[in-house]
Every structure is written in C-alpha cells, then in structure tokens.
Chains A and B, each alone.
Chain A
C-alpha cells in the first residue's frame, strides 16, 4: 500500500458545526502532516506529527485541533470555522529522514457556509 487515504473528499459545514477530517497511511511512515491549500496557492503547513507526537504547530487557530491516535491515523477536528477556512486540506506522510519525499492524499475540499 503506497497511498495516503483521506475522507471525506468533500465537506460542507456550517460555522457552528463540529466535523472531523480523517487521514490514513499504511506505509510505516513516522511523520504525518496537515496542509491547507487555497486556490492557486502552494500548500501551507499546519501541523506535523512525528512518532505520534505533535512536533510543529504553525500558529494555527485553535478551531483546528489535530489528533494522532496511532502511527497510521491522523485526524483534524474542526469547530466554529469561518468562511475563510474554506480550502483544500491535504494530509501527507513521510519517512523520518530527509530526501524521502512526502506522499500526499487527494485532499478534502472543505466549504464553510
């Protein structure tokens, strides 16, 4: 298995809703990432988990809450989002070494109404 699987592919939520994005990989990668991508822009790093521990939080608002239940799973819990949070949310994983490259999922297209 050489894929990163993200669910759901599309999500529409209201500003008072609570929802979660899920990401799964079975490549034995020890680092997992959440990225946010706005239209016509490169992905922006949000969070990094290394060996199931949060190692980087790029000053992301608390309405985004990451969780890494085990080495294969990564969640992003969403609460009280704003319309400007609408974007493509990408999960990625990598080996714990430079040069291995990241494997990205196909993303969740989030729309906040």
Chain B
C-alpha cells in the first residue's frame, strides 16, 4: 500500500534560517505528491504539489522536487519567517485510489 514518512518534529529555527523538511514515500506506479500546511486553529491548505518525476512544486518561497529515484519530496525554503510557523504535512494520492495518504506532520516554529 501507499505510505508517507516525514521527519519528526518539532523543528525550531531562527528567522531567516534555511528550512528542510524531509519526506519519503512508498507507492506503486506514479503517485502525485503534495505538501499541506495547517496554521494554528485552521484547516489544511495546499502549499504545493508535483504530479510527475522531476516536477518542482513551488509557492510562497517554498519548493519541493519530485525525486522518483530516491522516492522523496523534501520541502525547502531559503529564508523562513515567523509567519511560517505551522504544521506541515506531506501527502500523496495514487492512480485508482483517490485516498489522500498523509505523513505524521512536522510542527515548525520560527523564533524572531
């Protein structure tokens, strides 16, 4: 079956630091990959996505590249802000199965 493994949190960084949150997946075929963000007290927002190998998703300064050879989709940002403090979920869907499979989530806190 499908599964997503992402780095355990919490992650605490200073403002303007470089961010990497690791995500690897297990799936047959060619899944679509997503990063969702959940701000405190809110629902989930789609941050970025990639639907095929070597695609790069990007949004709000965040990037992630679909690496089929390493089955990874790591989230990066060059300079984080306090407003980026949230929980980040890596997720996938796969052909023939619309169910969204989530990783466990990574709580990110940015200190001024």
Residues of A within 8 A of B (CB): 6, 31, 33, 40-43, 45, 48, 50, 56, 88, 90, 92, 94, 96, 98-99, 101-107
Residues of B within 8 A of A (CB): 31-32, 34, 36, 42-46, 49, 51, 89, 93-96, 98-100, 102-105, 107
* Contact partner, B51, options A40, A41, A45, A99, Cβ 8 Å: A99
Residues of A within 8 A of B102 (CB): 42-43
**Cα distance A88–B87 in the bound complex, in angstroms:** 15
**Cα distance A98–B94 in the bound complex, in angstroms:** 6
CB–CB A101/B34 < 8 A: yes
**Cα distance A31–B97 in the bound complex, in angstroms:** 12
CB–CB B98/A106 < 8 A: no
* Contact partner, A104, options B43, B96, B105, Cβ 8 Å: B43
CB–CB A106/B43 < 8 A: yes
Residues of A within 8 A of B45 (CB): 104
**Cα distance A6–B46 in the bound complex, in angstroms:** 17
CB–CB B99/A56 < 8 A: yes
CB distance from B24 to the nearest CB of A (A): 16
CB–CB A102/B32 < 8 A: no
**Cα distance A31–B99 in the bound complex, in angstroms:** 11
CB–CB B32/A103 < 8 A: no
Residues of B within 8 A of A96 (CB): 98
* Contact partner, A41, options B43, B93, B105, Cβ 8 Å: B105
CB distance from A95 to the nearest CB of B (A): 10
* Contact partner, A90, options B44, B46, B99, Cβ 8 Å: B44
**Cα distance A41–B45 in the bound complex, in angstroms:** 16
Chain B CB count within 10 A is highest, among A33, A92, A104, for A104
CB distance from A66 to the nearest CB of B (A): 16
Beyond known contacts A40-B107, A92-B100, A107-B42: 13 more, CB 8 A cutoff? A6-B43, A40-B105, A41-B104, A42-B103, A43-B102, A56-B99, A92-B44, A96-B98, A98-B51, A98-B96, A102-B44, A104-B43, A107-B43
